Amino acid sequence: MKRFSRNEIVDRLNNRIRKYEPIVVCGAGTGLYARAAEREKVDFLIASAKSDALVNGLGAQEAVLPYHDANHTSGALAKHLLPVLKDTPVVAGIAAYNPYIDIRRVLKQMKQQGFSGITNSPGGSIYEGPRKKVYMAQEAEMILTAKEMDIFTMAFVTSEEEIKAMALADVIVTQCREDIRQAKVIIDYQEYLSEQVFAENKNTILLADVGNLTEAEAVQELMFRTKALGIVSEEAVESLLVHEKLTTAFEEILNL
């Protein structure tokens, strides 16, 4: 069970960048997912309410529903993921807008549990209107506080307004809201977002969230158009690809 400092993770990522290798980040909902991803040298893993929901058979849209305490769920993943990993950082998803919590205390707890970083998942981006501004401010503050505590930070951005707020994060991830499902829309929109991100800071370590894209060509196109240095895969790897493999195997038997 190894915890990584912020610099250690940033160094790893810079190493990939220097070698023109893609940064690969995956969601993990169980120890099996974590171990398998580590085997193929994933750069780090995400443990969030979404990671958990996906292995529970929920779709990405349902994964952000508030039917549980998101921070409890991601914290609970620690014992499932951390003991099987040898040398891979795990980033915990935190809902910064939980009104019951003191964010500093939550960050300290995540650090103690062995998480190496945090990300804004679920993010306030799923909300609209005036609430959204409040939540964004809270997420921005969370990222600032995390940095002070030497915790690696990754921020998902789904709209232009979030880009400035999350600018301080070590890694930025362009993401489409979960209800956007068409490849063309996803790629076009993230291209647009990435332009804004680089306009804000051309040295950003930018990743693109593949969403529900499972075709290799589509993912490659996403990377080219966004000029991202890598990808984040949650729904695709945890749910869609695994589900496909399982159903194929079961159908083969049923057809005997």
Q: What is the DSSP string of 152-199?
A: EEEEEE-SHHHHHHTTTSSEEEE---TT---HHHHHHHHHHHHHHHHH
Question: Closer to another protein at the Cβ: 35 or 147?
Answer: 35
Q: Phi, psi (5° rounding) for residue 206?
A: -105, 135
In whole angstroms, the minimum distance from the beta carbon of 110 to another protein comes to 17
How far apart, in whole angstroms, are the C-alpha atoms of residue 229 and residue 14?
Answer: 10
Question: Closer to another protein at the Cβ: 44 or 97?
Answer: 44
Question: Closer to another protein at the Cβ: 134 or 241?
Answer: 241
In whole angstroms, the minimum distance from the beta carbon of 247 to another protein comes to 4
In whole angstroms, the minimum distance from the beta carbon of 56 to another protein comes to 5
In whole angstroms, the minimum distance from the beta carbon of 99 to another protein comes to 27
Which residues of the chain form contacts with another protein (CB under 8 A)?
1, 17, 20-22, 24, 26, 29-37, 39-42, 54-57, 79-80, 83-84, 216, 219-220, 223-224, 227-231, 233, 236-239, 241-254, 256
Question: Closer to another protein at the Cβ: 1 or 134?
Answer: 1
User: For residue 223, which of 181, 198, 194 has the smallest C-alpha distance?
Assistant: 194
